[in-house]
Amino acid sequence: MDSKLIIGIGEFKAAKNPSILVTLGLGSCVGVCLRDSASGIGGLIHVMLPDSGGKVVNKPGKYADLGIPKLLEEMAKLGANISRLEAKMAGGAAMFKNTGSSMEVGKRNVEAIRKVLASKRIRLLSEDTGGNRARSIEFTVESGVLRIRKVGGGETTEMIEI
């Protein structure tokens, strides 16, 4: 039986098979899922903001620039080979209408995550980002399947897998 691990806002977790990594309430936040299929190790981070601005922070998982490297360290400690990692992500919605570009946190989060992944040479396999609907996700480490539940926007709940 797979164990479900819940990752809160600004948190990250690395885990071995069999594990399912879950995060809820991704609005402008982005869930980034990483996996080394050969070692059976995966990770998930719930990124809240794109950049720490170089500040020393007590919760690095809130920021794409600090959190993703910290998650990579945790995965390496479990035995993941960083050069084999693949990524998927979901979230980054525009939750507020008629805001200026500086308030497009979701879009900025997605761009920052892409930049960090590229700098670490981690291939982004798929994503479900943008729009105006909140998401909750479940990432199955063993298979690499990312299940996404979209809610809001006056539409019915939608379930997809990437």
Mark residue 160 as left, alpha or beta (left: phi above 0; alpha: psi -120 to 50; beta: remaining).
beta
Tokens of 105: 């946190």
d(CA 141, CA 14): 10
CB atoms within 10 A of CB 40: 17
Q: Which residue has the tokens 């982004």?
A: 124
Catalytic residue (one of 20, 29, 72, 116): 29
Based on the residue annotation, tell me whether 29 is a catalytic residue of this protein.
Answer: yes
Please give the positions annotated as active site. 29
